[in-house]
Structure 1
């Protein structure tokens, strides 16, 4: 009788050799053989196969790890990626129609994203998946594939975009009743958190244990936080991520949102990425720092050999200025998003740009020439990171391709000027649908699907009677 088979961990312990280095990877493996060993090394019982929908919500399937590594075919109905944030379905109209058979889309795990799920009680892992049709074609309208499409457009020109997102969010008192306004949480001092705490260390310390869990959960997933600060709002925090590849950074934001929500729930608190969750408090943004590197030389194309600004730098800004209003619905995807984009608030209201000017839409931070970049301050934190990055980078690339000259930089406060961004969801959808350059860059299937979803969400919103209407119209009209 043959000896009993030893598992990977027991074999490694019994051997005098060190275990393969990939077993200790916090995030990602190269192939299925490594994936099987990685899961066994950690005694993983279940694995979540997830992918972002149009809202950035994790959709997918959970299965035993043994099934995951046995060449199991994974699929989800195509309609899952055509639903509204409330779970409804848009009507067939214009260029948008549901597939007649609502056929399955295949999930293809990206093993470079394999990591543990640290908040689960049983040993659990997660992996982000791409979506393809049954014949292997990429599904054009899904968020991760869309961002890959834009990155490929850069590669076809010998370029590589580099990004660094900053994500703001609120911690709020647990509130299961949507009819009541959200309120700031109570910190370790025992008092409700007040506003005006920008960059306050004491403000961060109010949530020491929760933040410790955010760091701990992030470290276990191989996610790297660059800095964490308290923002101006009551209980508003911001996490900055290190710069890198757009798809990888979008993956990190996708996972960070899950992580922060779970850490907050552990402390009986909500974390929300709504753009404007509390009346009278600042909105929450997802600022995106962007630069572009030449693939052949590795040089930042925004600076020449002398360290001066290049035409490509100016044209990137020009593309952002001309096409960002059309891409706004990818940065501000909900009715609530437009409550943030108002005069004299800490958010842009137009497409001005300037040097180290935080009141403009496109800020050029102070930096060495090699780190010259454009910060897009328009996106709100409710945006799907894949779509926000895809839309922002698409605008910049169109500017480079069409050599669009920017307007003169602004050296004064620009957030009290006339608002020249779309003022609402339907206007923003209309601009996206009518922009031929963005349609060519992003593809007609995405434009049609996303536009239909946003129109359906607006109609659902219009069914709700707000407190403002009851207060000012009930007895006065």
Structure 2
């Protein structure tokens, strides 16, 4: 609906409040509920929002490393703008109208820290090259019979999983909590986050949801909304959902794989498919994949943004550790799927469920376009067999500190995303490392408290 249609809708329904939110650098949704008059008044000029939301971390601790904002700027308001095309209602909150916003400006001078604005810019570049970017993200997450209060009381230990045992793809396990399970599918659909498939994954209380594919911006919007929506729906059932990449060293991690393909402008032909190629891959597909392989070391923190991300990227844990690709191989960093012309695509398997979808998709699309623009050859052979043992093209950085410092110095990253974004984003990742470095962990207490 356009502006006038939305305002008429609010008036006809007697709606007096509207909810909106935007994603911060970590992919956390920050927002407000506002009066319908404030909503109408701000549609042209925007809405002031304290830019501390881009100056603190996911725990609301002010980041002292960044230039964008801080005590030195006085934490002023920045104008965010609601995207009317994102209109939907929240079915588990009395159908309150909801919108996504970002910090885009008409003159193109976007706030460098705004993830959605960055993805919009990359998508626009893709379209200017004659492509339609079709994307989707899938998520795995653990569910617990806990509350925010019980987590604090237990100090995040001895948590009760929703169900015991591994039970991957089990029909039985999901029926045990059928009200929650079907609420997820049905309410997400009503929220315009259509789920292609929902099932139990291996691990106690683990679910996996694949979202229906769409244009990259809509795909990222849906992915961001799914994570918060799942948590809110879980709350209503006395359940907590966690999208940590790896919450327990003895259990599998949680993936957030990104699926993608490029189509012609009217979205009628998949430009990744070539029936005459041995792997059914067009030259465009090969160049796109070559770009992702080449750029991966330069932009890894956009796929693996937290300290915890790298606990998932270990051998034998259904997550990649090497810079590799193959057709239908889940041990490699990039998996080519070529089952049919309509569904031929590339799966980027590095991202975990802890990723910011806007940044993960921006990284995938920008690096793929880099390969096309530079006509890169796919000179890395497809891996045969176990990708964990195929390290001839290099390994994925083992920790956030190393990955962030590589990105900090990378000319490739700055070419893809601009100096301002890279500087800000890298500093937020190094801040994360700094906060972790000063923390005393349970592992240290158990190892050193008595014996040393």
TM-score (norm 1): 0.86
Q: Does 1:77 align with 2:50?
A: yes
1:408 aligns with 2:384: no
**1:39 Cα shift?**
2.3
In structure 2, the residue matched to 1:465 is 440
Seen in structure 2, the aligned counterparts of structure 1 residues 133 and 316 have a Cα distance that, compared at 3 Å, is closer
What are the equivalent positions in structure 2 for 1:389-400 lying under 5 Å apart?
389-400=361-372
Matched, 1:103 2:76: yes
State yes or no: 1:161 paired with 2:133.
Answer: yes
**8 Å Cα contact 2:55-2:68 kept in structure 1:** no
Give secondary structure in 2 for the equivalent of 1:168: strand
Note if contact 1:104-1:134 (Cα within 8 Å) is conserved in structure 2: no
- Describe how 1:17-416 pairs up with structure 2 within 5 A: 29=1, 31-71=2-42, 73-92=46-65, 98=70, 100-120=73-93, 124-132=96-104, 137-174=109-146, 175-177=150-152, 179-181=155-157, 183-186=159-162, 192-195=163-166, 197-295=167-265, 298-304=268-274, 306=276, 308-406=280-378, 407-416=380-389
Residue 103 of structure 2 aligns to a residue whose secondary structure is: strand
Q: Following the alignment from structure 1 to structure 2, what is the Cα–Cα distance between the partners of residues 218 and 327?
A: 31
Find the aligned partners of 2:190 and 2:342 in 1 and give their Cα distance. Answer: 32
Residues 19 and 33 in structure 2, CA contact (< 8 A), matched pair in contact too: yes
Please say if residues 395 and 438 of structure 1, whose CA atoms lie closer than 8 Å, have aligned partners that are also in contact. no
Deviates more, 1:83-92 or 1:396-405: 83-92
> Distance in 2 between the 1:391 and 1:159 partners?
17
CA contact (8 A) 2:336 2:347 kept: yes
Shift of 1:385: 0.5
Query: What CA distance in whole angstroms lies between the structure 2 residues aligned with 1:400 and 1:165?
Result: 22
Distance 2:82 2:105 in 1: 14
C-alpha spacing 1:199/1:305, structure 2 compared with 1 (3 Å): closer
In structure 2, the residue matched to 1:4 is none
Aligned CA distance change for structure 1 residues 48 and 356 (closer, same or farther; 3 Å): same
Contact kept in structure 2, 1:332 and 1:383, CA below 8 Å: yes
Distance in structure 2 (CA, Å) of the matches to 1:110 and 1:457: 30
Answer whether contact 1:172 1:182 (CA < 8 A) is retained.
no
Q: Does 1:422 align with 2:397?
A: yes
How far 1:244 sits from its partner (Å)? 1.1
SS at match of 1:69: helix
Alignment gaps of 5+ in structure 1? 1-28, 187-191
Rg larger for:
1
249-258 vs 287-296, which moves further:
287-296
Q: TM-score, normalised by structure 2?
A: 0.91
> Using a 3 Å threshold, how does the CA distance of structure 1 residues 200 and 475 change in structure 2: closer, same or farther?
same
Distance, in Å, in 2 between the alignment partners of 1:136 and 1:401 is 22
> Between Structure 1 and Structure 2, how many residues are aligned?
440
Q: 1:417: how far off?
A: 5.1
Write the deviation string for residues 195-218 of structure 1: whole angstroms up to 9, x where unpaired. Answer: 1x1111112212211122212321
Moved more, 315-324 or 60-69: 60-69
Conserved? CA contact 2:196–2:209, under 8 Å: yes
CA change 1:416–1:304 in 2 (3 A) is closer
SS at match of 1:229: strand
